[in-house]
Chains A and B, each alone.
Chain A
């Protein structure tokens, strides 16, 4: 836990300094061409940009520890409020992609393990290699061309159809529509999510399939699998009951790491699909040199990465009886 806090403080310092090193002036984005130097100076003073770097950091950091991330310069709204609106959209997208990637990759790994030493194994291996080589944004563009333009079966952009959107109480639209049993809205949300989820999840699926299959093959060579086979266990049950749980360790660790990469990937994917998440807002914030908003978003991303790491470690302990029961 302590290291988590130290890491977050490090993230805060680095992002704060970086943003002040890179060219671009938030004030220049705000003023009209007719502004006088006095106006500009007044504006700088108002946002504290006339103070020294260290002083600025102390002011910001104190506020952040109190839960106040300041106000967005470009949107003129509270940063915490903005993140609170956008983060759930990104979380729903990322978790959907995570579930899809792990389930799809896991299924492929089990199938290729069952097909080992058959000609079909080579086919799966070839396809797996191909999928490993294609990054998320290429999937996004290909999906847009195929499912959005050539065969327009899926909505191209947004989170849901604004015309039919009900009044939501929470920002977790997908969960809320499910809890309310509002299946029309739920399926509309899902339809909007299919392409971004595929774009984010397919690369993860490819990695999970590759790593899990390696571990499954290793586990299948163990004596306990041989004994279970002699007992007359079916090949599928051998893989699922005997091998899988002993094989998930490396995949779990890797999925944790890949999930953090994927959350980074939401930035570009949300942009491509005009999905109203945190990543999309981050790009606008960078374009507008909206320092408080960028800092807030980056800190939230940093906290997410740390949480994912903690969750991965906890899950690894739960799955391994040697760690769980001493």
Chain B
């Protein structure tokens, strides 16, 4: 067993805005190099907070109260800002959620794709351009020359997300954080994008943290999963194990709530209230202990 690339240990955090309401309750997870790990949960479950902690961009309203986020033996939570800046955007990169707002509307793609390469890898303008062209071809963009000269509004949402994926893999990172990268896209485009992330991740042997609320997406792309509710890990394990033999009633209920094309009458069952009550009771009990 290889040593983990990323190791989160008992990470706890509170919201300073909402009367110190816990947003993460002793979350732990390990990520091996080249592994795709899904962070699943409904909104407010804490999956985005974990992603932000890994990227070192926790909002001021979230305060970490304990635990560690170790990336190759360096604790990202205690690293001096300068050292953190050297890791972010180079060893750890981000595929953002919404391709509409993640590209600067008033700059051409070329500048947006190359300035990271020039700043992070010290490439010359010509070398960065050549690299950008190669990356665009790798994410299956036809006519990359034209795309480099385009403004974001001239490209479709799927194209923009491809560009953002290219940008995320550009500096050769060890870990890519994908923050619901398909949520804002059409279902048909979603599938292509998932496949693309999977292919890029394999080709570059990059680990991926995949934040999503969609178990269907998890089944398609993730090797392992952590399921969260109210900032607490409910269940974790390999994707196959969790989807085939869910241990927790909440996991079972979530799987039942998803669409099933083979048995439409059995699908889209809402998660029963009793399970949410049980979840809240469990959380309260562990809090008191």
**Measuring CB to CB, which residues of chain A are less than 8 angstroms from any residue of chain B?**
117, 222-224, 226-233, 241-242, 245-246, 319-322, 325
> What is the CA–CA distance of A231 and B123 in the complex, to the nearest angstrom?
14
> Smallest distance from the beta carbon of A326 to chain B beta carbons, Å?
9
> Are A232 and B101 in touch, CB under 8 angstroms?
no
For this complex, into which size category does the number of interface residues on chain B fall?
Answer: 20 to 34
A223: nearest chain-B partner, CB-CB: B102
State the 10 A-B residue pairs at the shortest beta-carbon distance, nearest first.
A231-B116, A230-B89, A223-B102, A245-B106, A224-B104, A231-B89, A321-B151, A223-B101, A223-B96, A232-B119
CB within 8 Å for A325 and B154 given contacts A228-B115, A231-B119: yes
Evaluate contact between A233 and B119: CB separation under 8 angstroms.
yes
Tell me if A232 and B120 are in contact (CB < 8 A). yes
| CB of B249, distance to nearest CB on chain A (Å) | 36
User: Distance (Å) between the CB of B176 and the closest chain A CB?
Assistant: 12
Interface residue? B217 (CB, 8 A):
no
Please judge, given known A-B contacts A223-B96, A233-B119, whether A321 and B153 are in contact too, CB under 8 Å. Answer: yes
Q: Which residue of A lies closest to B90 (CB)?
A: A232
Beyond contacts A231-B116, A232-B85: 17 other A-B pairs, Cβ-Cβ < 8 A, are A223-B96, A223-B97, A223-B101, A228-B115, A230-B88, A230-B89, A230-B94, A231-B89, A231-B120, A232-B89, A232-B116, A233-B115, A233-B119, A246-B105, A321-B105, A322-B151, A325-B154
- Which residues of the other chain, A, contact B85 by a CB distance below 8 angstroms? 232
**Chain B 16-58: CB-based contact to A (< 8 A → 1; otherwise 0):** 0000000000000000000000000000000000000001010
Cβ contact within 8 Å between B115 and A231: yes
B214 at the interface (CB under 8 A from A): no
B103 at the A interface (CB under 8 A): yes
- Residues of B at the A interface (CB closer than 8 Å) are 55, 57, 60, 85-86, 88-90, 93-94, 96-98, 101-107, 112, 115-116, 119-120, 151, 153-154, 164, 167
Contact between A224 and B55, CB atoms less than 8 A apart: no
Report how far A222 CA is from B100 CA in the complex, Å.
Answer: 10
Instruction: List, in ascending order, chain A residues with CB within 8 A of B164's CB.
Output: 227
Bound complex: CA of A273 vs CA of B93, how far in Å? 59
The minimal Cβ–Cβ distance linking A203 to chain B, given in whole angstroms, is 29
- The answer for the CA separation of A322 and B106 in the assembled complex, in Å, is 8
The residue in A224, A242, A246 that gathers the most chain B C-beta atoms within 10 A of its C-beta is: A224
- 16 cross-chain CB contacts under 8 A: A222-B101, A224-B101, A224-B103, A226-B94, A227-B167, A228-B104, A230-B94, A231-B119, A232-B89, A232-B119, A245-B106, A246-B104, A246-B106, A319-B106, A320-B106, A322-B151
User: What residue in chain B is nearest A324 (Cβ atoms)?
Assistant: B151
* A91 CA / B154 CA spacing, docked (Å): 40
Q: Is the CB of A325 within 8 A of B151?
A: yes
A-chain residues with CB within 8 Å of residue B112 when the two chains form the complex: 224
Task: Report the minimal beta-carbon distance from B194 to chain A, rounded to whole angstroms.
Answer: 20
CA distance A102 to B102 in the complex (A): 29
Query: B residues within 8 A CB of A233?
Result: 115, 119
Please name all residues of chain B whose beta carbon is closer than 8 Å to the beta carbon of A117 when the two chains form the complex.
Answer: 60
* Of A227, A241, A322, A325, the contact of B94 (CB 8 Å cutoff): A227
List of B residues within 8 angstroms of A222 by Cβ: 101
Q: Of A223, A230, A321, which one neighbours B98 at CB under 8 angstroms? A: A223
Report which of A227, A228, A231, A321 forms a contact with B106, defined as CB distance below 8 A: A321
Chain A nearest CB: distance from B54 CB in Å?
12
Rounded to whole angstroms, the CA-CA distance of A230 and B94 in the bound complex is 8
Q: Which residues of B contact A321 (CB under 8 A)?
A: 105-106, 151, 153
Residue of B at shortest CB range from A321?
A: B151
Instruction: Tell me the nearest residue of chain A to B86, going by C-beta.
Output: A232
